[in-house]
């Protein structure tokens, strides 16, 4: 049987701090998840501040080493990959972080992030083909190359900078994008646009996402399944619609009940227009043109 694309297997992470690291924080406790190969999905990790979300992101990206357990990519522990397999992992698993202001070097034009990636991963045989890749990636995220290239980071809005990061990740043809609170610092009017891009990358380009958020309403808009974390432990996991409409765990119930809605008299019902449209869209894509089930949309048959 084919191993999952990504498997987080019984992973715990304990940080030591204070004198001689004697003060210990269990940031993640025996956490597991799997993202299947060939079934691109958006998996949400949700939880309040300090629940271990960024720790999980950094573990998956290989920036932290688990205290126990394993992170496997296509069946192999990421910490025992060969040099070339690690290089492939670094290309195929991309990150989008919360703060679109921090990731750029203010002294370089934004083109630098693309040219650096082109060179590092030898993505194009010459400059002309490299430029074509950059233009394609910018267009996928709805940015016009002539408006963006040649500018410095401070000359762009937060939303544009975040879309640039997505374009850079897209250019690398990733299999998985780890997005840690990618829209929490973006103007509300642009959040939907970024989430639309994620959905498109998932549906049209087969990219899976680990979408990390404290905001259940955005999770509901785009994801297929969800893991609810509290103090490093999973409180509940499952299909997003099932969890949001019928939360079993009291903590999940609390989170769902506290989703803000425009009218304070109305409790969140999951019935907002955008959500309904997204569900319809998934439902129609659950079958291909022959009417046969499309396994890419296994959650909305
Ligand atoms: N480098 C570190 N050293 C010691 N403790 C840490 C370290 N990084 C995180 N922690 C602790 O681990 C726990 C989980 O932190 P983490 O950053 O993963 O949470 P989070 O869910 O991403 O929170 P937020 O929503 O605020 O970003 C917290 O108690 C935090 O204080
Ligand atoms: Mg965090």
3-class secondary structure per residue, 150-161: CCCHHHCCHHHH
Would you say the CB of residue 141 lies under 6 angstroms from ligand 1? Answer: no
pTM above 0.85, yes or no: yes
Q: Which of 99, 111, 97, 123 is nearest to 155 (CA)?
A: 111
Query: For position 158, what pLDDT does the model report?
Result: 87
Residue 17 forms part of a structural domain? yes
Residue nearest to atom 29 of ligand 1 (CA): 50
Would you say the CB of residue 54 lies under 6 angstroms from ligand 1? Answer: yes
Summarised one tens digit per residue, pLDDT across range 26-39 is 999 999 999 999 99
Residue 252 forms part of a structural domain? yes
Residue 1 forms part of a structural domain? no
- Is it the case that residue 281 has pLDDT exceeding 70? no
| Domain interval for residue 165 | 6-296
Tell me which residue has tokens 């993202």.
35
Look at the chain and report how many structural domains it folds into: 1
Residue 301 forms part of a structural domain? no
Indicate which atom in ligand 1 lies nearest the CA of residue 51: 21
Q: Which ligand is nearest to the CA of 46?
A: 1
- Is it the case that residue 278 has pLDDT exceeding 70? no
Residue 190 forms part of a structural domain? yes
DSSP state of 137: H
Compute the distance between CA of residue 259 and CA of residue 101 in angstroms, rounded to an integer.
27
Indicate which atom in ligand 1 lies nearest the CA of residue 55: 18
Summarised one tens digit per residue, pLDDT across range 174-183 is 999 999 999 9
Would you say the CB of residue 49 lies under 6 angstroms from ligand 1? Answer: yes
Indicate which atom in ligand 1 lies nearest the CA of residue 16: 4
Tell me which residue has tokens 């998934």.
282
Summarised one tens digit per residue, pLDDT across range 177-210 is 999 999 988 888 889 999 999 999 999 999 999 9
Strands 6-17 and 23-35: antiparallel
CATH code of 98's domain: 3.40.50.300
Residue nearest to atom 30 of ligand 1 (CA): 50
pLDDT-based confidence at residue 99 (cuts at 50, 70, 90): confident
Summarised one tens digit per residue, pLDDT across range 127-157 is 999 999 999 999 999 999 999 999 999 999 8
- Is it the case that residue 243 has pLDDT exceeding 90? yes
Compute the distance between CA of residue 158 and CA of residue 162 in angstroms, rounded to an integer.
6
Positive or negative: CA dihedral 270, 274, 280, 283: negative
Q: What is the mean pLDDT of the chain?
A: 87
Would you say the CB of residue 218 lies under 6 angstroms from ligand 1? Answer: no
34 CB neighbour count, 10 Å cutoff = 14
Residue nearest to atom 2 of ligand 1 (CA): 15
257 CA from centroid of ligand 1 (Å): 25
pLDDT-based confidence at residue 43 (cuts at 50, 70, 90): very high
User: Which DSSP string do the residues of 28-84 spell out, in sequence order?
Assistant: EEEEEEEE-TT---EEEEE-STTSSHHHHHHHHTTSS--SEEEEEETTEEGGG--HH
8 CA from centroid of ligand 2 (Å): 18
Strands 23-35 and 76-77: unpaired
Compute the distance between CA of residue 199 and CA of residue 260 in angstroms, rounded to an integer.
23
Query: For position 295, what pLDDT does the model report?
Result: 32
């Amino acid at each position: 049987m084919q191993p999952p694309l990504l498997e987080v297997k019984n992973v715990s992470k304990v940080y030591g701090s204070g004198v001689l690291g004697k003060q210990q924080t269990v940031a993640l406790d025996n956490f597991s998840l799997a993202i299947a190969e060939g079934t691109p999905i958006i998996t949400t990790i949700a939880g309040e501040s300090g629940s271990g979300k960024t720790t999980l992101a950094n573990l998956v990206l290989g920036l932290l080493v688990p205290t126990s357990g394993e992170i496997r990519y296509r069946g192999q522990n990421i910490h025992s990959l060969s040099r070339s397999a690690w290089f492939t992992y670094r290309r195929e698993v991309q990150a989008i972080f919360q703060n679109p202001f921090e990731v750029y070097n203010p002294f370089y034009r934004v083109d630098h992030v693309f040219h650096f990636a082109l060179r590092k991963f030898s993505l194009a045989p010459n400059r002309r083909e490299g430029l074509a890749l950059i233009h394609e990636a910018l267009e996928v995220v709805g940015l016009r190359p002539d408006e963006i290239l040649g500018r410095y980071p401070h000359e762009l809005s937060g939303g544009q900078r975040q879309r640039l990061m997505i374009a850079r990740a897209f250019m690398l043809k990733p299999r998985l994008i780890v997005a840690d609170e990618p829209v929490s610092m973006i103007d509300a009017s642009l959040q939907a646009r970024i989430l639309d891009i994620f959905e498109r990358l998932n549906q049209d380009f087969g990219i899976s996402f680990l979408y990390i958020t404290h905001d259940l309403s955005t999770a509901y808009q785009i994801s297929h399944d969800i893991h609810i974390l509290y103090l490093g432990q999973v409180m509940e996991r499952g299909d997003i619609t099932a969890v949001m409409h019928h939360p079993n765990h009291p903590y999940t119930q609390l989170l769902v009940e506290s989703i803000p809605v425009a009218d304070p008299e109305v409790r969140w019902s999951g019935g907002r227009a955008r959500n309904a449209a997204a569900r319809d869209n998934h439902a129609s894509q659950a079958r291909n043109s022959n009417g046969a089930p499309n396994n890419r949309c296994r959650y909305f048959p």
